[in-house]
A and B are shown apart, each in its own frame.
Chain A
Amino acid sequence: MSENENKSEVRLPSGSELVLSVSPHLTGSDSVRRIMYKVLLSLVPAAVAGVFFFGFYALVVMLATMLFCIGAEALWCKLAGKPVMGTIADGSAALTGLLLAMNLPPGVPLWVCLVGAFIAIWLGKQVFGGLGHNPFNPALVARVGLLIALPAIMTTWPAPRSLGEPEAAMIERNVTGATTDATSGATPLGEVSTTPKILDRTPQAEMNFSSVDSDRYYWRYFLGEKGGCIGETSVLALLIGGIMLICFNLINWRVPICYIGTVAVFTGLVNFFFPGVTPTPLFHLLTGGLMLGAFFMATDMVTSPITGTGCIIFAIGCGIITSVIRIWGNYPEGVSFSILFMNALVPLIDRWCVRQPFGYVAKREVAK
């Protein structure tokens, strides 16, 4: 081979132009921004279901809440002297906005969304130092804040689009709802909480919740025909989103499985012994915010434990608290409260679940 053939056409840069950095020199393809966008994508089925069942206004609520959250984040960054564009671009504010909207009733006025956005971004996230430092799920902080401050608005449930001939029992149920508004009804869980409990095992107790808990409704609940927040109605859409999250490797599958499993076991036991106290576990799985909470809220990376074992403890705790509130609490639904409560325990759970580094077990054996 001659000298000329070996000469390359492209000159090498001088050494000082080379990038110096610490190893590793390769990185994986995922980034914080990509993670946020993938979660947003996984929420699309539930968003579509929300618009299908509650109409165009649900879309307005979702978009407005996202914009308000982005605005709240931008304003905070401006006031705090942080880079505005860089922070918004990570997509976390938009995600918080969409999650918050999914946790709002479909007929919520837009000013409530604005208040909620500021609670979520300012009180839920930025006061703690921004993304990654918030101990509580920002969207849930806002939802619970609004629920306590504006209980009437937050528990007004427009009736969903019907998937067929409404059955007599359903019409009756809507009429027996808490409000007199003709277009409004109660959520199935709301019905349950206003039904007096029967503590024996008579046939009457078995039939105590039959106005909402019956084979006739399960299919409708699964598809999404039930009163509730925008994003929580369709179990089907949430399961699709949940599978997307697991496929994207964004959530620890143990969290939804353990959370939902705990609720099923807990309500199942209570229902088995006291059928007049709470409906069947299947009813509990198909109603309320359980699926949204288990797949999208309890799995928030920032506010859930960091180890696999910790996630299991966390999810079981969420399941127990959700069940207890649903069965014996004043509120019909306990998903938000349970997740926020367990969020507060995360540092403690992380402490319990410190991992044994490689080689330590062996060291003890040698010492014996």
Chain B
Amino acid sequence: MSKSSREVLSFQGGIHPSGDGKQLSSGNPIQIAPLLDRYRVMISQNVGKPPKPVVKPGDTVKKYQLLAEADGFVSANLHSPTSGKIIGIVDVPGPMGTLVPAIEIEADGLDEAAETWPPIAWRDADPADLLKRVGDAGLVGMGGAAFPTRVKFSPPPEKKIDTLILNGAECEPYLTADHRLMLEHPEKVLEGAAISGRMLGVSNIYIGVEVNKEDAIQALGRRASEYGVKIATLKVQYPQGSEKQLIMAITGRAVPAGGLPMDAGCVVQNVGTAAAVTDAVVSGIPLVERVTTVTGEVVKNPGNWMLKIGTPVIKAIEFAGGVTAEPGKLILGGPMMGFAQKSFDVPVSKNTSGILLLPVSEALTYGSVGCIRCGRCLEACPMNLMPCLLGNAVEGEKFDIAAQNHVMDCIECGSCAYVCPAHRPLVQHMRRAKAEIRKRKK
């Protein structure tokens, strides 16, 4: 597909959240967070098996030193964000509301780095060496899912991959971390894209960016051709950054229902992960910090911070100057798909793209009323489902009807619940149906 005349691409359905909050932080350059005296690095920060800790209480560690080793194929290494002493394994409140084990490190304040890996001349390197490096560095998808990158880049041989798409859509309201990263470090993103392309043996590489990030599109576009990367301009439409919608917008291919991007010949990777690939391959450093947007109308100085993994959320909010009014809701991730939290002590992990505080007035929970069949959810659903009917099926506990009507294809983007004038908790209904159906299959 030719991108010579700039074409703004999109998908069917979706919504335009009003007042997307990006202006709070999009103009603020990435700041390096001050060093803390204590970090709590959650052991499980990836989809799949948690890694096995390789340090003991009392050990001294350096920055970038291995803390826990990948346990099996679908797992990821974990490294120390700073130098200091291991206190032990403690329980911390996790992002999903449960207590999870974390390695607590008392920082020595020196932030002394261990020896880094030698850089790899990736243009001529064996893709297997690159893959190994990405695995060693503990890379996971930083857009939200935290799927180990090495696994994503090792598709089964029968799947023919011809396109790599970097996801710079950042369609979630409020979040600007990817925007700032693309704007301030375009070469890092582009180089990561090219390295990733080499790993996959793919030369057809796109970076999809929503048109509201014009400066980032310009910054990337200036040097894109050097790396053999094409910039795809996307319409501002939520959920543009959802894998299936992004592939459809850029390539026109539909990922088959129940399938993965590789079934459409594509691999989709977050731009943050691409930058981390460059760090791992070119600079030889593992993934121990990331750009996170700390924002919200009640945050004093909303902005984008380079946060070390294991930073408690409360500290990140303090970096942003604290709050100007009492927040009613704490969300990790964006407001459309992020998770509400019950504790300010949740540590930042590899996939924490945003820390969002909503004011009390916006944290109201609406009482829902019955469906009035307005059909707005049908227009909004990017998967072309019928959310209101699925919701009715779940309210009547008719999970077989929900299954027949393809509830398993729901991507939980929340577009239906956003537009619903009856304020029905549709995403909750979908999740419940999926859980019930999975349980019955067993």
Contact = CB atoms under 8 A, between A and B. Distances in A.
Contact of B329 (A9, A10, A18, A133): A18
Contacts of B263: 366
Contacts of A252: 375
A1 B331 CA distance: 27
Contact of B322 (A6, A23, A35): A6
Interface in A12-30: 12-13, 15-16, 18-30
A139 to B, nearest CB: 15
Interface string B300-324: 1000000000000010011101111
A32 B314 contact: no
Given A131-B372, A357-B409, A25 B358 contact: yes
Contacts of B87: none
B369 A19 contact: no
A357 B244 CA distance: 12
A180 interface: no
A355 interface: yes
Interface string B343-377: 11100000000001010001111100111111100
B366 A358 contact: no
Contacts of A362: 253-257, 264
A307 B422 contact: no
Contact of A25 (B335, B371, B420): B335
B418 interface: yes
Nearest to B299: A8
Given A354-B386, A359-B259, A19 B363 contact: yes
A8 B418 contact: no
A130 interface: yes
A10 B325 contact: yes
Interface string A334-366: 000000000000000000001111111111001
Contacts of A358: 12, 244, 248, 254, 257, 382-384, 409
Contacts of B431: 22
Contact residues on A (Cβ < 8 Å of other chain), bracket: 35 or more
B120 interface: no
Interface string B224-256: 000000000000000000001000100001111
Contact of A131 (B322, B324, B370): B370
Contacts of A22: 340, 425, 427-428, 431
Contacts of B135: none
Contacts of B323: 8, 10, 12
Nearest to A129: B370
A90 interface: yes
Q: Which of the listed residues A9, A13, A32, A361 has the most CB atoms from chain B within 10 Å of its own CB?
A: A32
B340 A32 contact: no
Given A12-B323, A13-B326, A362-B253, A18 B418 contact: no
B423 interface: yes
Contact of A361 (B254, B364, B418, B428): B254
B375 A301 contact: yes
B375 A306 contact: yes
Contact of A306 (B93, B343, B386, B422): B386
Interface string B86-120: 00000001000100000000000000000000000
B52 interface: no
B373 A301 contact: yes
A7 interface: yes
A130 B370 CA distance: 9
B421 A307 contact: no
B339 interface: yes
B406 interface: yes
Contacts of A8: 300, 318, 321-324
Interface in A99-158: 129-133
Contact of B372 (A18, A19, A302): A302
A15 B329 CA distance: 9
A6 B319 contact: yes
B336 A15 contact: no
Contacts of A354: 386, 405
B208 interface: no
Nearest to B425: A22
B18 A19 contact: no
A132 B254 CA distance: 35
Interface in B410-442: 412, 414-415, 417-423, 425, 427-428, 431
B24 interface: no
Contacts of A131: 369-370, 372
Contact of A359 (B255, B329, B340, B418): B255
Given A131-B369, A252-B375, A19 B329 contact: yes
Interface string A299-321: 00110101110000000000000
Contacts of B257: 357-360, 362-363
A304 B373 CA distance: 8
A357 B385 contact: yes
B342 interface: yes
Contact of A34 (B358, B420, B421): B421
A90 B368 CA distance: 12
Given A356-B384, A362-B254, A24 B318 contact: no
A31 interface: yes
A11 B258 CA distance: 46
Given A25-B331, A301-B374, A32 B422 contact: yes
Nearest to A249: B376
A42 to B, nearest CB: 15
A16 B405 CA distance: 38
A240 to B, nearest CB: 22
25 contacts: A8-B321, A12-B326, A13-B327, A15-B342, A16-B342, A20-B340, A22-B427, A23-B340, A24-B335, A25-B331, A25-B338, A27-B366, A28-B18, A28-B420, A30-B421, A31-B366, A35-B372, A252-B375, A301-B373, A304-B373, A358-B254, A358-B409, A360-B257, A362-B257, A363-B257
Interface of B: 12, 15, 17-18, 93, 97, 173, 244, 248, 253-259, 263-264, 298, 300, 314, 317-319, 321-331, 335-345, 356, 358, 362-366, 369-375, 378, 382-386, 388-389, 405-406, 409, 412, 414-415, 417-423, 425, 427-428, 431
